[in-house]
Structure 1
Amino acid sequence: MLRLCALVLLGCVNNFIASPLHSDVPKTFLEHEVVPDVLSVAPAEYLTVKFPSGAEVNGGNVLTPTLVKDLPSLSWNANPDLFYTVVNTDPDAPSRAEPVWREFAHWLVGNVPGDDIASGDQLMQYFGAGPSLGSGLHRYVFLVYQQPAKLDFDEPRINLTAANRDYFSIANFAKKYNLGDPIAGNLYQAEYDDYVPILYEQLGI
Structure 2
Amino acid sequence: MEDIVPDVVDAVPAGIVQVSYGECNVVCRGNELTPTQVKDPPTVQWCAPEGDSLYTLLMVDPDAPTRQDPKFREILHWAVVNIKGNDIATGFPLAAYIGSGPPEGTGLHRYIFLVYRQGNKIEEGQTIPNNVRAGRLNFSARQFAAKHGLGEPIAANYYQAQYDDYVPIRNKTIIG
TM-score between both structures, scaled by the size of structure 1: 0.82
Aligned residues: 174
**SS at the partner of 1:204?**
coil
- Aligned residues with identical type, % of pairs: 47
**Counterpart among 148, 152, 168 of residue 197 in structure 1:** 168
The normalised TM-score by structure 2 is: 0.95
Encode CA deviations 1:143-188: one digit per residue, 9 max, x unaligned: 100000222245x420011222001000000000000000011000
Higher relative contact order (CA 8 A, sep 6+): 2
1:54 is matched with which residue? 24
Contact 1:52–1:71, Cα closer than 8 Å, also in 2: no
Q: Does 1:93 align with 2:68?
A: no
Greater radius of gyration (CA)? 1
1:182 aligned partner? 153
Moved runs in structure 1, 4+ residues, more than 3 A?
none
Alpha-carbon distance in structure 2 between the residues aligned to 1:69 and 1:119: 22
Higher share of residues assigned strand: 2
1:138-177 to structure 2, matched below 5 A, reads 138-153=109-124, 156-160=126-130, 161-177=132-148
Superposition RMSD in Å: 1.3
**Structure whose residues are more often helix by fraction:** 1
Letter paired with 1:177: H
- Give ranges in structure 1 of 5+ residues lacking alignment: 1-27
Give the structure 2 partner of residue 103 of structure 1.
74
Unaligned runs of 5+ in 2: none
